[in-house]
Amino acid sequence: MNNQPSSRKLLTWFNPLGRNPGAWAFILNRLTGLGLTFYLFLHLIVLGRLAQGPQAYEEFLELTKSPLVKLGELLVIGAVIYHALNGLRVVLTSFGLGIRQQTQMFYLSVLLALVGTLVFAIRMFAG
């Protein structure tokens, strides 16, 4: 068995095709975790920029009005909701609770994340 790292193996790590819902949950958890980590670094860069004074703060406020930035914020919100709910599913099953309902809990976490993101989207873009 070849145990050497390769780009093909890395891509299969994220490939959900032909996998069961548990694998989908795990892949989504990986992606949201990586996305949230990226957002954290981006957030720290922005905070560092804001420390440069009122002019930088005003420029930042203008940037936040961009539809692209709002879409990014919406993706962060959806990722946080899904990641938290899936983490709760993992904790419950780790304690032996809801093991037979894992698939339903996964679908429920996706549904709640979508609904929560939609609620945020309506409030974000309506106001």
Domains of the chain: 21-126 (1.20.1300.10)
pLDDT given for residue 91 in this prediction: 94
Let me know how long the chain is. 127
Count CA within 13 A, CB hemisphere, residue 38: 11
pLDDT given for residue 17 in this prediction: 74
Helices (H) and strands (E) in the chain, counts: 5, 0
Whether the Cβ atoms of residue 86 and residue 97 lie closer than 8 Å to each other: no
**How confident is the prediction along the chain (127 residues), in pLDDT tens digits per residue?**
566 666 667 777 667 677 788 888 988 999 999 999 999 998 898 888 888 888 888 888 888 888 898 999 999 999 999 999 999 999 999 999 988 999 999 999 999 999 999 999 999 888 6
